[in-house]
Amino acid sequence: MSGGSPEAAAMKKQGLFITFEGGEGSGKSTQIKTIASLLSAELSADGHQPVTTREPGGTPEAEKIRHLLVHRDGGNWTPMAEILLFFAARNMHVEQLIKPALAAGNIVICDRFTDSTRAYQSYGHGIEPDIIESLVQLTLGGFEPDMTFILDIDSAAGLARSGKRLQAEQSGEDRFEALDIAFHEKLRHGYLEIAARYPERCHVIDAAQTPDAVTKDIMAIIGDALAGEGTATSGEGAAT
**Identity of the amino acid at 53:** T
Between 162 and 233, name the residue whose CB sits nearer to ligand TMP.
162
- Give me the helices (H) in 106-230, please: 114-116, 129-140, 155-169, 181-197, 211-226
The answer to the question of residue 176 lying near ligand TMP (CB under 6 A) is yes
Q: Should residue 17 be labelled a site residue for ligand TMP when binding is judged by CB under 6 A? A: no
- Does 93 sit near ligand TMP (CB under 6 A)? no
Q: At closest approach, how far in Å is the CB of 56 from ligand TMP?
A: 5
DSSP lists the bridge partners of residue 147 as: 18
Q: Where are the beta strands (DSSP E) in the chain?
A: 16-22, 51-54, 107-111, 147-152, 202-206
For ligand TMP, the closer CB: 10 or 70? 70
Q: Which is nearer to ligand TMP, 12 or 67 (CB)?
A: 67
Considering the complex, state which of residue 70 and residue 227 has its C-beta at the smaller distance from ligand TMP: 70
Any idea what DSSP says for residue 198?
Answer: S
- Told to check if 112 binds ligand TMP by CB under 6 A, we report yes
d(CA 211, CA 175): 26
For the segment 46-65, give every residue that binds ligand TMP (CB under 6 A).
55-56
120 touches ligand TMP by CB under 6 A: yes
**Is 70 one of the binding residues for ligand TMP (CB under 6 A)?**
yes
CA distance 85 to 65: 7
**CA end-to-end span of the chain:** 30
Q: Which stretch binds ligand TMP (CB under 6 A): 110-118, 142-150, 194-202, 229-237?
A: 110-118
CB under 6 A: which stretch of 111-119, 195-203, 209-217, 230-238 binds ligand TMP? Answer: 111-119
Residue 123 engages ligand TMP in binding (rule: CB under 6 A): no
21 binds ligand TMP (CB under 6 A): no
Q: How many chain residues are in contact with ligand TMP, going by CB under 6 A?
A: 11
β pairing state of 147-152 and 107-111: unpaired
Question: How far, in Å, CA of 18 to CA of 122, rounded?
Answer: 22
Q: Which stretch binds ligand TMP (CB under 6 A): 91-99, 116-124, 148-156, 211-219?
A: 116-124
Q: Please, which residues bridge with residue 152 across strands?
A: 206
Among 98, 99, 95, smallest CA distance to 110 is for 98
The neighbouring-strand residues paired with 203 are: 149
List of residues contacting ligand TMP (CB under 6 A):
55-56, 70, 86, 111-112, 116-117, 120-121, 176
